[in-house]
Amino acid sequence: MNQNFQTELITLGTAAGPAIRGKENGMASAVVVGGRHYLVDFGLGCVRAAHEAGLRGKDMAAAFITHLHSDHVGELPAYLMWNWGKPVEGFTSPVRFLGPGRDPHHPRGNQLSGTRDMIEHTLQAFSYDLDIRVNDEGRPVMDGLLEVENIAIPQAGGDEPFMVYQDERVTVSAVLVEHPPVYPAFAFRFDTADGSVTFSGDTAECEALVRLARGTDILVHEAVNLEFFASRGFDESFLNHQAKSHSSPEGAGRVAQACGAKQLVLSHLAGVATADEWRTRAESTFDGPVQVATSGQRFVVERAASQIVA
């Protein structure tokens, strides 16, 4: 990676799900490097958000899925159909999709889909549409363009960062994070010549994430307002899941402080709070700048000097 490309983070969607509690799109992000882009997750609204951000399928290099909860993959089928072929400036050459495989810890995990299964089933479900568009519109056969990979977890475990992707613009590393009962669930770090962006995915406070994000220029970290759910009488099992599988804003701040992040961007916001409330809580445990992301927000990534541009 000896070439110098401008790197930009776009928070296409910032809302947790699958409930809709505000105007923000569901969870999706893009890292843009020298005109090529890399997508992280496919939450509700990501197709339109990517289009409005100027991202076209023809410029997509690869996509990464943190885990297989529906609020992170629900709009993946639509993304494929809306960003494929020359008529829509879509991809016409191979693109890579990397995400979790099947869950070996689930009692029925060998029967439940991993990333590769999910995309294969998507192509089958839309086979009529795909066939018509290939034969009537001259589009390329889609399944020949999708290079889908279930991320292999190292034999030593995924608590230490391991590389999952590399090209001339970016190196992407991952660790396993703590989002029980979901397994595997990944965090991803993108390193470019300009700097680095780390995505927590969905996770409780996690030492593996601290190791992955060490010195990162931007840490995009989830946060939950547990008090919102408790005050509205949500079931105890739901509250327990939120408490053990997600991070409070203070927890996100502690992770940012521990890893030495240059900037903390709060995203995947679960529950309701004002931007000032999210920010103030994270600032109580993190010395650096904190931003509460909104859909379509852009950040220029500069080593140790990342900044918002819109």
pLDDT tens digits for range 264-295: 999 999 999 999 999 999 999 999 999 999 99
pLDDT of the residue at 38: 98
pLDDT at 305 over 90: no
pLDDT at 26 over 90: yes
**62, 165 contact by CB (below 8 A):** yes
Residue 128 lies inside a defined structural domain of this protein: yes
Domain containing residue 259? 7-308
CA 118 to chain centre: 17
SS3 301: strand
SS3 235: coil
Low-confidence winner among 20-24, 262-266, 305-309 (lowest mean pLDDT): 305-309
Residue 247 lies inside a defined structural domain of this protein: yes
Give alpha helix (H) positions in the chain.
Answer: 46-52, 70-73, 76-82, 115-125, 127-137, 207-212, 226-231, 236-245, 249-259, 275-283
Residue 2 lies inside a defined structural domain of this protein: no
Residue 1 lies inside a defined structural domain of this protein: no
Pairwise CA distance, residues 253 & 267, whole Å: 13
SS3 263: coil
Residue 206 lies inside a defined structural domain of this protein: yes
Mean pLDDT of 190-199: 97
The residue written with tokens 């958000």 in the block is 49
The residue written with tokens 């890399």 in the block is 38
- Per-chain mean pLDDT for the chain: 95
pLDDT of the residue at 304: 61
Percent of the chain with pLDDT over 70: 96
SS3 202: coil
pTM over 0.85: yes
Domains held by the chain: number: 1
pLDDT of the residue at 3: 53
Nearest to 182 by CA among 112, 266, 78: 112
pLDDT of the residue at 302: 87
CATH number at residue 218: 3.60.15.10
pLDDT at 2 over 60: no
SS3 5: coil
Percent of the chain with pLDDT over 90: 95
SS3 149: strand
Q: Kindly compute the dihedral angle of the four CA atoms of residues 119, 24, 66, 95, in this order, to the nearest 10 degrees.
A: 50
pLDDT at 306 over 70: no
The token pair at 143 is 């399944």
Residue 188 β-bridge partners: 174, 199
**24, 296 contact by CB (below 8 A):** no
Torsion sign across C-alpha atoms 79, 84, 90, 92:
positive
Pairwise CA distance, residues 239 & 106, whole Å: 22
Strands 186-191 and 171-176: antiparallel
pLDDT of the residue at 310: 45
Nearest to 15 by CA among 205, 202, 204: 202
